[in-house]
Amino acid sequence: MTRILFEHITKYLHFNDDSKMVALGEEAFDKVFKIRPPITHLPSKFRDTLTFIWKEVYFALNSSNKPFT
């Protein structure tokens, strides 16, 4: 990815409203304020997806262990 393309993407990609950001040095300052929404959203989505995949793998392994008749 070129620098110009990266700058173009980051220019329009926003996750939080900058007017609500707490100033540096204040007690409630959050270093990852600008990307907090995806940080809090993604783990739950990964957990849901991984749980689904694990159930599918578990079912596949359990049904393959049946003895031949």
36 within a domain of the structure (yes/no) = yes
pLDDT for position 61 = 62
User: What is the number of domains present in the chain?
Assistant: 1
- Domain membership of residue 69 (yes or no) is no
Residue 33's pLDDT is 87
| pLDDT tens by residue, 7-33 | 898 888 888 888 988 898 889 888 888
Burial track 52-65 (b if 16+ CB lie within 10 A, e otherwise):
eeeeeeeeeeeeee
Question: What is the domain extent for residue 57?
Answer: 3-64
- pTM, to two decimals: 0.51
